[in-house]
Structure 1
Amino acid sequence: MSPTVLALFGFGMVIAFMVLIMTKRMSALASLIVIPIAVAAIAGFGPEIGSMGIKGVVALAPTAAVLLFAVLYFGVMIDAGLFDPLVRRVLKAVGGDPRKVALGTAIVALIVSLDGDGATTAIVTITAFLPIYRRLNMNVLVLAVLLGSANAMINIAPWGGPTARVASALHLDINDVFLPLIPAIAIGIVGVLALAWHLGGVERRRLGVTDVGPETGGFTSLRADAPDLARPRLLWVNLVLTLAVLAGAITRILPLPLIFMVGLAIAVTVNYPRLDDQRARIGAHAANAIGIVILVFAAGVFTGILDGSGMVAAMGGAFVHVIPPEMGPYMGFITALASGPLSFVMSNDAYYFGIVPVIAEAAGHYGVAPVEIARASLLGQTIHNLSPLVAGVYLVAGMLDVELGAMQRFGLKWAALMAALLVFGALITGAVPFVVG
């Protein structure tokens, strides 16, 4: 099969998936499984569908394990009351002002994102702010947008993942890739705070400022329906344990799934020594955790077939070949603009290890340096964070109890705006050239 036809099948698969879930004609779970299998069968990959799908599932198994045990761990910590003081202080600081709540969301997400793990950022930020959003009747999709945008900005740091991938793929010094992008990232962070100000203002005009009382508006705990679960006397024990788990996640002293497994085992044993209580706490959070893991494995089928069939490589090659030779000197700028859409339709691994080297090779013929292509390829991460191929997007949707399609309909325009701001920042600071020669 020619690369052009293969690319058309790949783009068709992604478009069909997006249309079906955004129009609510099919669930994300069903779409992730049925669409790639159907397209692969039509494309003539019938005998290979099984092996490609299983390979994708196996590749995402560690991610699924992290999400499973992380959700259970932080669920137990919510039950034990670890985050109650934080929420109480935040609620006292922001009061009933939706604009302050939105700004607080962005600031906390930016800070927590420094650990480099998107799942942890989502869990901690949503845990702290979701009760406030619900209490004030704010749109939880605002939380999702601010969380994703803030995380994308900080995730460009060398320990976040994308930068390390592209530096490895192009054999570059990671500091040469990252350091010139710092001014653009700073501009992006200001943009996230401005977005929080705007979206918070929209909610403020819709809802007004709610009087939540002089203290915390009656807030007692995140589990007010079962206050007997709280373990206030173990607050410092739980805090130290959580900091240790996060430190282990950052330093990778053990594989990430194992870190959360050990953390969960200690947390549930210390806080709820009785076996019946332990089973009850795991069971209370199992539905949310399993729902997320199922979607991650379903995404593995999609990515496995998309990658294993060669559609991803063909899609990248099609992008390179449609650029006229006279546009070659603009490859840095073009790559920056295309980084969002391309990383939306494929995983970071496929994009940075499969596509970016092809782009860099083509751009080199026009005098655009590989390090400039590397920087340009990082600027679409805000859009990538809403991709159905990103496991964390299902975690956020599950914790907020919203449909993935609703998140994308609400968030893609803001994600595109933040990506455009990053591109603008990279261009005016010289990190990425508009044109060479």
Structure 2
Amino acid sequence: MLPLLGLATIVVLLGAILSKRMSPLVALIIVPIAASLVGGFGLHTSKFVLDGLKSLAPVVGMFVFAILYFGTITDAGTLDPIIDRILRAVGTKPTRIVMGTTLLALLIHLDGSGAVCFLVTIPAMLPLYERLNMDKRVLAASVSMAAGINFLPWTGPMIRASASLHLPISSLFDPLIPVQAIGLVFVFGMAWTLGRREEKRLGYSSPAGSVPIPERKLTPEEKALRRPKNFWFNIVLTVVLLGTMVAMGEKIPPAIVFMVGLCIALLVNYPNVDMQRKRIDAHSRAALLMAGILLAAGVFTGIMQGSGMLKAMAQAAVGFVPPAMAGHIPVALGLLSMPLSMLFDPDSFYFGVLPVIAEVASQLGVPTVHVGQAALLGQMTTGFPVSPLTPATFLVVGLCGIDLADHQKFTFPLLFGASIVMTIACVLLGVFPL
């Protein structure tokens, strides 16, 4: 009874989200509660829900304050000198331009928002691509690779994986740091290759500076928020926060790190109380939207685990997996995770599919953390910039002025290659023991 009820719950959840009959927030709350009542758990459902919410409170806190922090220092203009210097440094040599585009997107994506990354990077670089007649698919591919490889502790996939599997973010992220570094080497190597290909296609021979470099223009509202005198302070503060998260993630919860960081950033950059309120208001919508989804996911995972549906499903599925193949589950998921982004949106995968895979693997002796890490190698990380299930994909093609099919055909192999390289790196570095 329980395995069938659990399967039906996940099928209904996926169907409601993928068909867009319900928003993820609504589906993650209504579907599991209904399933729990149908299963006869009655008032025990409320206990399952509360247990799920309590387990996610630290993750929700970190995400909200990370968004507010990075939004505040971006408003203060912390990234402006870096952006302008990259634009001046790339000149008109296609290889430098593509490499610079990748670096710029990587830096802008520090806030964890793909939309912000694309909205800042593409308009800044597009005039240069157009003046030199460079292939705009290369622009789309370079920003997609940089954003896709940059799965930091406060990015959506990492938060979702932590929430759905009830694992500390540090246990997922820290072992993947060298793996991500190898992925970055691959990304910049491919950016260099794309730039060289463009040079050959264009017959490049012009000296740097022969074509004027486009200048970024800020609106009066943006200029009023800039605090150029605080550039180095904001840079040092950000480095200290990130270093604290990596070095002391087990001792100091990331939520506290970003809480304190946000307070310091606001007091230094915007000492006026009214300005502080406006900065929080400006970024609270994005933060609270994701916080709501995460809390709704707590309802789903709390009920699935508390009712025993998840464990019952896993026990039923264990019989179909040969014991000799159990140790290869993380590697197989790592290789498949990027293509799965074309089939599942992040909420349905991380909250509906991943917990079942993790429970099956756990009952076969495979640590849950390895399953979560395998998913992060591609599922809505390298996969999100080409997935038709995320608005960011349409933002990329819209800003670049290219067709979705052309973008997917050109960029998919590059992003898939990054996932394969990182999966192999996990094996070679011992993250996934064979």
TM-score range, shorter chain: 0.5 to 0.7
Offset, 1:356: 3.1
Greater shift, 78-87 or 188-197, is seen at 188-197
Instruction: Map residues 4-403 of structure 1 onto 2, 5 A cutoff.
Output: 5-20=4-19, 24-93=20-89, 122=112, 130-135=119-124, 143=143, 146-151=146-151, 192=187, 217-220=214-217, 225-250=221-246, 251-252=248-249, 254-323=252-321, 328-333=323-328, 336-338=331-333, 344-346=349-351, 354-360=359-365, 378-385=373-380
Q: Percent identity?
A: 30
**Paired residues of 1:80 and 1:229 also in contact (CA < 8 A):** yes
Equivalents in 2 of 1:51, 1:142: separation in Å? 47
Give the residue type in structure 1 aligned to 2:40.
Answer: G
Alignment CA distance shift 1:196-1:262 (3 Å): same
* Helix, strand or coil at the partner of 1:226: helix
Deviation at residue 87 of structure 1 after TM alignment: 1.6
Mapped partners of 1:244, 1:77: distance in 2:
14
Counterpart of 2:133 in structure 1 is: none
Shift of 1:35: 2.5
| 1:381-404 Cα distance to aligned partner (Å, 9 max, x none) | 3244569xxxxx9xx979x989xx
1:51 is displaced (CA, Å) by 2.0
Contact 1:84 1:220 survives alignment (8 Å) = no
- 8 Å CA contact 2:241, 2:258 repeated in 1: yes
Higher mean C-alpha deviation, range 306-315 or range 81-90: 306-315
1:230 Cα shift?
1.0
Rounded Cα–Cα distance in structure 1 between residues aligned with 2:167 and 2:35: 33
- The DSSP-based 3-state class of the residue aligned with 1:236 is helix
Q: How many residues of Structure 1 are paired with residues of Structure 2 in the alignment?
A: 382
- Deviation per residue, 1:106-147 (Å, 9 max, x gap): 6678899xxxxxx95625x87666412244567989856643
Change (3 A) 1:136 1:98: farther
CA distance in 1, matches of 2:44, 2:423: 40
Name structure 2 gaps, 5 residues minimum: 127-135, 156-160, 341-345, 397-403
Q: CA deviation at 1:104?
A: 5.1
Matched to 1:122, the amino acid is: G
Report the CA distance shift for 1:43/1:334 in structure 2 as closer, same or farther (over 3 A). same
Question: C-alpha distance in 1, partners of 2:257/2:216?
Answer: 32
CA contact (8 A) 2:72 2:266 kept: yes
CA distance in 2 between counterparts of 1:307 and 1:190 reads 39
1:234-284 per-position Cα deviation (integer Å, ceiling 9, x unaligned): 212222222222222222363221211111111111112222222222222
Q: Show the counterpart of 2:129.
A: none
TM-score, length basis structure 2: 0.65
For 1:148, the aligned partner's letter is: G
Report the counterpart of residue 132 of structure 2 in structure 1.
Answer: none
Matched letter for residue 215 of structure 2: G
Root mean square deviation, CA, Å: 5.5
Matches of 1:235 and 1:102 in 2, distance apart?
26
Distance 1:130 1:283, change over 3 A: same
User: What is the CA distance between 1:420 and its match in structure 2?
Assistant: 5.0
Following TM superposition, by how much is the alpha carbon of 1:197 offset from its aligned partner in structure 2, in angstroms? 7.5
Q: Kindly provide the amino acid, as one letter, of the partner of residue 57 in structure 1.
A: L
CA contact under 8 A between 1:71 and 1:289: conserved in structure 2?
A: yes
Q: Distance in 2 between matches of 1:386 and 1:64?
A: 19
Distance (whole Å) between structure 2 residues aligned to residue 77 and residue 335 of structure 1: 37
Q: Distance in 2 between matches of 1:92 and 1:140?
A: 20
Distance 2:431 2:36 in 1: 40
Aligned residues of 2:331 and 2:423 also touching (Cα < 8 A): yes
Structure 2 letter corresponding to 1:258: I
- The equivalent of 2:130 in structure 1 is none
Contact 1:29 1:295 in 2 (8 A): yes
State the distance in 1 between where 2:356 and 2:8 align.
18
- Equivalent position SS for 1:360: coil
Distance in 2, Cα, partners of 1:323 & 1:425: 25
- Asked if 2 retains the 8 angstrom alpha-carbon contact of 1:13 and 1:36, the reply is no
> Aligned partners of 1:226 and 1:41: how far apart in 2?
51
Kept in 2, the 8 Å contact 1:91–1:132? The answer is no
- Do the aligned partners of 1:166 and 1:356 also contact (CA within 8 Å) in 2? no
Opposite residue 287 of structure 1, the aligned amino acid is: R
Deviation at 1:63, TM superposition (A): 1.3
Question: Once the 2 structures are TM-superposed, how far is the Cα of residue 357 of structure 1 from its aligned partner?
Answer: 3.2
| Alpha-carbon shift at residue 28 of structure 1 (Å) | 2.2
Structure 1 contact 66–257 (Cα < 8 Å) conserved: yes
TM-score normalised according to structure 1 size: 0.64
Partner of 1:158: none
- Is the 8 Å Cα contact of residues 83 and 127 (structure 1) preserved in structure 2? no
> Gapped runs of 5+ residues in structure 1?
113-118, 156-160, 169-173, 362-369, 388-392
Deviation at 1:360, TM superposition (A): 2.4
**In structure 1, what is the Cα distance between the partners aligned to 2:229 and 2:430?**
54
C-alpha separation between the residues in 1 aligned to 2:285 and 2:229? 28
C-alpha contact (below 8 Å) 1:10/1:311 kept by paired residues? no
Report Cα offsets for 1:143-180 as digits up to 9, x if no partner: 5664334538xx9xxxxx99xx9999xxxxx9xxx79x
